[in-house]
Amino acid sequence: MSLDTASNQECEAGQMPSFTFYNYFRSSAAYRVRIALNLKGIKPAHTVDLDIRQGEQKAAAFGEVIPHGLVPAFSWDGGFLTQSIAMIEWLDALTPHLPRLVPADPFQASQAREIALAVACDTHPLNNLRVLNYLGHRLELSEDARLQWYRHWVEEGFAAVERILRLRCSGGPFALGLQPTLADVCLIPQVFNARRFDVPLSTFPMINEVAERCETLEAFRKASPEAAV
Ligand SMILES: N[C@@H](CCC(=O)N[C@@H](CS)C(=O)NCC(=O)O)C(=O)O
């Protein structure tokens, strides 16, 4: 596959190429992309499931399409894209006729990104597999200490999102109003992870309400790691 600039520009014409999705069922960043694909009704031509516990995403064979060694990623003939939020924005930009995940209104778009980034930048990276592995293997923190770390950063992140939701006062039922957006797409996988690690969520009523509403939608349910097992 050639990754030169000219071939990457082929996508700029606004045509969605036939693409491959690199996925791991329990990855919350990949879960975001699965929700986005379902909400838009887009099916990748191929899905490659990689077991990140075995480090499969770092195999040399994927070096040109997953250069940072993390899932999710997309590739197509002549190009690749990583970073779940960039990938979702790419899907959205190429299919504005399908349900919009980043609202057309610039202020609402910023608000969707605000919540998405509070999850994807301020919360999730602190609890990534490689971070938890480093705490355990390199710094030799106990299982209990790692769990404490995990819960602390989710609680910090969710406290911020809860305050934002309260101040934005969208009226629901989704994070920013009547339609699910990038905000919900990022929030729900983090809620799933929080439940998995028994983070108490009763102090985040607005997040809980949004999660309950999203989970009534098939697009969210079918994207869940539980749907894959
Ligand atoms: N900022 C990235 C995060 C990607 C990421 O952290 N992926 C995790 C799974 S959720 C991963 O591949 N972890 C492998 C590892 O930590 O070794 C995104 O949004 O796509």
Q: Is residue 101 part of a domain?
A: no
* H or E element in which residue 49 lies: strand 46-49
Q: Residues 140, 46: one domain?
A: no
Structure tokens at 158: 């969710």
CATH number of the domain residue 53 falls in: 3.40.30.10
Does ligand 1 have an atom closer than 6 angstroms to the CB of 87?
Answer: no
Number of domains composing the chain: 2
Distance of CA 3 to the CA centre of its chain: 25
Domain ends where: 37, 65, 94? 94
> Cα of 129 to ligand 1 centre, how many Å?
8
Does ligand 1 have an atom closer than 6 angstroms to the CB of 52?
Answer: yes
> Cα of 103 to ligand 1 centre, how many Å?
25
Does ligand 1 have an atom closer than 6 angstroms to the CB of 38?
Answer: no
Does ligand 1 have an atom closer than 6 angstroms to the CB of 126?
Answer: no
Q: Residues 129, 163: one domain?
A: yes
In the chain, what are the helix, strand and coil shares in percent, each to the nearest 5? 55, 10, 35
The per-residue pLDDT for range 168-201, each reduced to its tens digit, is 988 889 999 999 999 999 999 999 999 999 999 9
What residue's CA is closest to ligand 1, atom 9?
A: 27
Q: Residues 155, 81: one domain?
A: no
Please count the other Cβ atoms lying within 10 Å of the Cβ belonging to residue 205. Answer: 12
The per-residue pLDDT for range 96-144, each reduced to its tens digit, is 999 999 999 999 999 999 999 999 999 999 999 999 999 999 999 999 9
Bridge partners of 49?
Answer: 23
> Cα of 52 to ligand 1 centre, how many Å?
9
Q: Which residue range is the domain that position 23 belongs to?
A: 5-94
The β-bridge relationship of strands 19-23 and 46-49 is parallel
Q: Is residue 28 part of a domain?
A: yes
What residue's CA is closest to ligand 1, atom 11?
A: 70
Q: Residues 155, 190: one domain?
A: yes
Band of the pLDDT at 7, cuts 50, 70, 90? very low
String of b and e for 19-35 (b: at least 16 CB within 10 Å)?
A: bbbbbbbbbbbbbbbbb
Does ligand 1 have an atom closer than 6 angstroms to the CB of 122?
Answer: no
Q: Residues 119, 30: one domain?
A: no
> Cα of 160 to ligand 1 centre, how many Å?
22
pLDDT at 12: 54
Q: What is the pTM of this model?
A: 0.93
Contacts of 88 (CB under 8 A, 6+ apart): 32, 33, 36, 101, 102, 182, 185
The per-residue pLDDT for range 8-63, each reduced to its tens digit, is 444 555 689 999 999 999 999 999 999 999 999 999 999 999 999 999 999 999 99
> Cα of 170 to ligand 1 centre, how many Å?
30
pLDDT at 14: 66
